[in-house]
Amino acid sequence: MTQLAGRGISDITGEAAECGLLGYGKAGQQSTGIHLRLRARAFAFAEGTGPADRRLLLVICELPLMSGGIVQEVVRRLPSEWTESNVLLTATHTHCGPGGYFHHALYNSNTGGFRPRTFAAIVDGITEAALAALDDLAPAELSLAHGELHDASANRSRRAFDRNPEHDRAHFPKGVDPLTTLLRIDRDGETTGALHFFPVHNTSMTNTNTLISSDNKGYAAYKWERLDNGADYLAPQAPALITAFAQTNAGDMSPNLNLRPGSGPTDNEYDNTRITGTRQQHSATALLAEASPLTGPLDHRITHIDLANTEVGPEYTGDGRAHRTGTPVGGAAALAGAWADGKGFAGFREGRNPLWDAVSQRVVYALSPALRDAHAPKALVLPAGPLNKLRPMVQERVPVQLLRIGRLYLIGIPGEVTIVAGLRLRRTVAAIVGADLDDVLVAGYSNGYFHYVTTPEEYDAQEYEGGSTLFGRWQLPALCQTAAALATALRDGRPVHPGTPEPLPAARPQRRTAAPEQPHPGHAYGDLLSFARIGDRATATFVAAHPANNLRRGDTYLTVERHNADDTWTRVADDGDWSTTFRWSRTGRTTSTATVTWTVPAATPPGSYRLRYHGDTTTTGPFSGTTEPFVLP
């Protein structure tokens, strides 16, 4: 059997100014520029001599969450042999990406509604990466390796974790899931692609940051591709090496090792992003030499289940009785936020919330035994199910997917799965298909989003994750039951019932009347207002136009250029580089500035350099501003 593999990469950065960042859900966390651009990295696999359905497409997207609307639109744009069953779209879960790309209203709460520009940037970029991977399909050697990484995550919900049975806790003696997995792609003896799996929240950047950032997993890919291998993301050809850092069961895994936002391993969020990303990248490169051949068939199954109303058999519930999941409701603990990564709303806390506990226990649960069986002891606060009837708030019918790449199995779950919940899903599938446990991974944040998945024991603690397990105590058993059906069908070569996908709600675009733009009095767009060099940092401020006039996807708002002997200039950095930041701010109702900052890397050669800003107006089109040259000794 000939193995084929292809790779693709594209920019998916949305609105860099005045768009709510999705992840932390803070109303005041509006985008003000770019720290690191967001990218989609696609990996296609096919059996060269096999039937048309023996092919898979994985796209790892540097997004906060994956939305069902994105999935539907991307699949619609792909060739007909690519379907929701053999395409997996997953998010790295950065908390500093523009929102507004969901059709369900809850996730657009800090963006003023649906944002067509950001939605289009994401869909266009993912589609470009996917089609590039399909065009790149060629004979390749696949290999797989596993390892452990112990200094990049901490359990932010230890009280809930400790409620699990000893045989589950014993699998994670330090309370973290250290498993790393590398899928390596080689052509003619050269590594051309790498897909690394490791569970850790992408929350090294805090909820006070307002710059778009791909966070620690994005830095890991950036370091491997650009810093170590010289990739130029603005070049017309794809990088020689494309790498991606995907999530698994990261629901209770925090990168903040001191269990405080922005704390651990240092007290600087930028340093933490770089260090935690570097540790993941070093973990991946260490596995290159250990990878063994990955051969065998490709296969896939998908079904849709109504998580608001699924009967779970006694063999999965743990108490010998059948139960039913419940309509989606957020708990008081969900509004408290995960304190290790960023507090939520005032007046709520993880664990006990006496007022909401009392109302739920004495009134709601007393009136509805079915609701009590599904949701107790959750303190009910956000009744998303009833609200869905008025305006779709959250997804209820969700896809569950199982992919096979040789001996590697990926369980696509559209939620944030804790490590023990993930362990139970993995054990369920591994036992049926006869796989080694390490070769079965939960691909969290995939194909949609329905919040958290905890074990029933963790659910009872009602920490943040339990309060955010919307469909109640039996949600994980329902998913295990579904995963078992998929695994059995895949093992036996049988189809599965696809279920009934949830119709996509109508998008409600943001209502906004843009103020007319003007340059500062006495200035033109792009004029330099100030320039300073302090130590290794150069900063320039220019007369700007709104970044939403042109998202410059696949382009840049800034360049750092070095002067050449022939009197030309060469770009050495752009707004997708770690060494730069692009900041935009209003200075009045109609005027704004753009600030370009370059922190000179240690290995920068001496010479003459300049900073440039690139913008667009809605009337006259593109413009640029440039500093005077400055010399680095």
Between β-strands 55-61 and 87-91, what pairing exists: parallel, antiparallel or unpaired? parallel
pLDDT tens-digit series, residues 502-550: 999 999 888 766 667 999 999 999 999 999 999 999 999 999 999 999 9
Structure tokens, 514:
């843009």
Domain that residue 222 falls in: 3-300+403-465
pLDDT at 513: 61
Catalytic residue positions, numbered: 254
The rounded distance, in Å, linking the Cα atoms of 290 and 320 is 43
**Burial letters for 369-387: b for 16+ Cβ neighbours within 10 Å, e otherwise?**
eebbbbbbbbbbbbebbeb
pLDDT at 48: 82
pLDDT(291) > 80: yes
* Strands, E assignment, 48-153: 55-61, 87-91, 96-98, 138-139, 141-148
Q: Which residues contact 130 (CB under 8 A, 6 or more apart)?
A: 8, 40, 42, 44, 57, 59, 74, 78, 82, 87
Alpha carbon separation from 224 to 220, 508, 577, 606 (Å, rounded): 6, 39, 13, 25
- Is 385 among the domain residues? no
pLDDT tens-digit series, residues 384-411: 999 999 999 999 999 999 999 999 999 9
**Are residues 97 and 223 located together in one domain of the fold?**
yes
Q: What is the number of structural domains in the chain? A: 2
Average pLDDT over all residues of the chain: 96
Final residue of a domain: which of 426, 443, 465? 465
* Strands, E assignment, 329-375: 330-331
Q: Which residues contact 51 (CB under 8 A, 6 or more apart)?
A: none
**Burial letters for 455-491: b for 16+ Cβ neighbours within 10 Å, e otherwise?**
bbbbbbbbbbbbbbbbbbbbbbbbbbbbbbbbbebbe
Sign of CA dihedral 561, 567, 568, 572: negative
Q: Which residues are 452's β-sheet partners? A: 416
pLDDT at 392: 94
**Are residues 534 and 459 located together in one domain of the fold?**
no
**Are residues 557 and 460 located together in one domain of the fold?**
no
**Are residues 261 and 184 located together in one domain of the fold?**
yes
pLDDT(338) > 70: yes
CA-based Rg of the chain, rounded to a whole angstrom? 24
Contact 325, 469 (CB under 8 A): no
The predicted model gives 603-631 an average pLDDT of 97
- Which CATH number is 600's domain given? 2.60.40.2300
pLDDT band at 555 (very low <50, low <70, confident <90, very high): very high
- Is 378 among the domain residues? no
pLDDT tens-digit series, residues 426-484: 999 999 999 999 999 999 999 999 999 999 999 999 999 999 999 999 999 999 999 99
pLDDT band at 495 (very low <50, low <70, confident <90, very high): very high
pLDDT(304) > 90: yes
pLDDT band at 204 (very low <50, low <70, confident <90, very high): very high
* Strands, E assignment, 516-576: 528-534, 537-544, 558-563, 569-574
- Is 228 among the domain residues? yes
Final residue of a domain: which of 431, 465, 499? 465
pLDDT tens-digit series, residues 1-32: 679 999 999 999 999 999 999 999 899 999 99
Final residue of a domain: which of 465, 495, 515? 465
* Single-letter code of the amino acid located at 57: L
**Are residues 564 and 461 located together in one domain of the fold?**
no
The rounded distance, in Å, linking the Cα atoms of 126 and 91 is 11
The predicted model gives 488-492 an average pLDDT of 98
- Is 570 among the domain residues? yes
**Are residues 459 and 536 located together in one domain of the fold?**
no
The rounded distance, in Å, linking the Cα atoms of 135 and 132 is 5
- Is 351 among the domain residues? no
Structure tokens, 404:
């096979």
**Are residues 273 and 139 located together in one domain of the fold?**
yes
How far, rounded to the nearest angstrom, does the alpha carbon of residue 172 sit from its chain's CA centroid? 24
pLDDT(52) > 90: no
**Are residues 547 and 436 located together in one domain of the fold?**
no
pLDDT at 574: 98
SS3 call for 413: coil
Share of the chain above pLDDT 70, in %: 98
**Are residues 138 and 63 located together in one domain of the fold?**
yes
pLDDT at 451: 98
**Are residues 109 and 235 located together in one domain of the fold?**
yes
- Is 195 among the domain residues? yes
**Are residues 429 and 535 located together in one domain of the fold?**
no
pLDDT at 514: 66
The rounded distance, in Å, linking the Cα atoms of 486 and 85 is 12
**Are residues 170 and 276 located together in one domain of the fold?**
yes
pLDDT at 49: 67
pLDDT(35) > 70: yes
- Is 608 among the domain residues? yes
- Is 495 among the domain residues? no
